């Protein structure tokens, strides 16, 4: 990945914390790979020290080698205007890394253009061949498995897993982040997007991921969670991942103050104490998982308000809580290790 110099495509979305989550994840954990961000509505600004450009032409002076689709649209399809943008990237010799459900390599026009300009089209969500149901290998691994779960989507489950992994490695633990979605894959360079496999094979894909995480040297596996068991659209992925990855311990993620499913008005969130119990009760009967702590996303709150929200959550759930991004992942890792 040494020649990976990324232009992040975030046209119209670079300021959106929800749909721009691939961009934000890569900016935070693979910043060294990013040379520019494309969003014509914010051209000339900087994002986290990275220049924002109006079009592909204006990005070329930064020497990008690949364009990364940095948005996660609902349903995973391309906004129509993006086709021209992708064609411009290919014509300028940039490979494409795409995390949407719509595969660029399967588009005849884009594939033909990519052949002509000799660039690679990489679909991060393309499932590997030969998936199947779990074999039971997930329950036989000599590893300790930690999965992030949550009250909603896009509240930071991947970030929490990455922060716990970083903290564990800093302590000398043979830890491995296990990517289960397009952003995690763009960051770590391996993984399976479990939301894109044939639905009968979600658990089988999750099993394959923990097996691979262990083969990569992980004795502590920090599995990136997806969706929420109570989410009206994505719960199937969540539960298949929960059963297939066979975690010993869960970390429950929540956005401080949220009470309704984001984007689904009228769908209340399940209260945290009930969510703790629900996850433990719905975990594998052969390997009961315990929720070790609550990771609270306090973005937008003052430090004082964040401390209060964390204390309130500890009182509400009876579990240790913390915001690993704001205050460090140490306390949450302590709580996880105490339950392993």
CB 55 within 8 A of CB 28: no
Indicate which single residue of 58, 65, 235, 308 sits in contact with a copy of itself (rule: CB under 8 A): 235
- 269 or 333: whose CB is closer to a copy of itself? 269
User: How far does CA 10 lie from the centroid of its chain?
Assistant: 17
Q: Does 273 participate in binding a copy of itself (rule CB under 8 A)?
A: no
- 136 or 300: whose CB is closer to a copy of itself? 136
- 120 or 274: whose CB is closer to a copy of itself? 274
Report the C-alpha gap between 155 and 238 in whole angstroms. Answer: 14
Q: Does 269 participate in binding a copy of itself (rule CB under 8 A)?
A: yes
* Total site size for a copy of itself, rule CB under 8 A: 50
Per-residue binder mask for a copy of itself (CB under 8 A), 56-95, x = binder: ------------------xxxx------------------
Per-residue binder mask for a copy of itself (CB under 8 A), 114-143, x = binder: ------------------xxx-x-------
* CA atoms in the 13 A half-sphere facing the CB of 195: 27
Report the C-alpha gap between 88 and 47 in whole angstroms. Answer: 23
- 61 or 198: whose CB is closer to a copy of itself? 198
CA Rg value for the chain: 20
Q: Does 210 participate in binding a copy of itself (rule CB under 8 A)?
A: no
CB 139 within 8 A of CB 246: yes
Residue in 7, 148, 22 with CA at minimum distance from that of residue 89: 7
- Strand 121-123, strand 144-150: pairing: unpaired
Report the C-alpha gap between 123 and 139 in whole angstroms. Answer: 30
By CB under 8 A, name the binding residues for a copy of itself: 74-77, 101, 132-134, 136, 194-204, 229-244, 261, 264, 266-270, 274, 278, 281-282, 284-286
């Amino acid at each position: 990945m040494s020649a990976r110099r990324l232009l992040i495509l975030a046209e119209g979305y670079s300021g959106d914390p929800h749909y721009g989550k691939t961009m934000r994840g890569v900016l935070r954990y693979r910043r060294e790979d990013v040379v520019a961000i494309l969003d014509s509505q914010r051209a000339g600004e900087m994002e986290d020290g990275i220049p924002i450009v109006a079009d592909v032409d204006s990005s070329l002076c930064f020497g990008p080698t690949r364009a990364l689709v940095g948005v996660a649209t609902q349903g995973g399809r391309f906004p129509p205007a993006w086709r021209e943008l992708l064609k411009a990237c290919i014509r300028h010799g940039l490979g494409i890394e795409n995390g949407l459900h719509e595969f660029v390599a399967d588009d005849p026009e884009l594939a033909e253009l990519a052949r002509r300009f000799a660039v690679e089209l990489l679909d991060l969500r393309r499932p590997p061949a030969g998936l199947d149901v779990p074999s039971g290998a997930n329950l036989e691994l000599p590893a300790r498995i930690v999965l992030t779960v949550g009250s909603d989507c896009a509240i930071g489950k991947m970030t929490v897993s990455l922060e716990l992994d970083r903290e564990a490695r800093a302590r000398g633990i043979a830890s491995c982040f296990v990517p289960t979605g397009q952003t995690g894959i763009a960051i770590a360079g391996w993984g399976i997007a479990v939301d894109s496999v044939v639905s009968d094979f979600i658990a089988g894909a999750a099993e394959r991921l923990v097996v691979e995480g262990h083969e990569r040297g992980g004795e502590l596996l920090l599995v990136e969670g997806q969706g929420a068991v109570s989410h009206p659209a994505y719960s199937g992925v969540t539960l298949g991942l929960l059963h297939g990855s066979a975690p010993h311990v869960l970390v429950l993620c929540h956005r401080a103050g949220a009470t309704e499913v984001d984007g689904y008005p009228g769908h209340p969130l399940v209260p945290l104490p009930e969510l703790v119990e629900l996850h433990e009760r719905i975990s594998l009967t052969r390997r009961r998982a315990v929720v070790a702590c609550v990771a609270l996303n306090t973005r937008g709150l003052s430090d004082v308000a964040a401390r209060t929200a964390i204390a309130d959550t500890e009182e509400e759930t009876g579990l240790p809580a913390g915001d690993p991004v704001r205050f460090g992942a140490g306390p949450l890792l302590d709580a996880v290790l105490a339950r392993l």
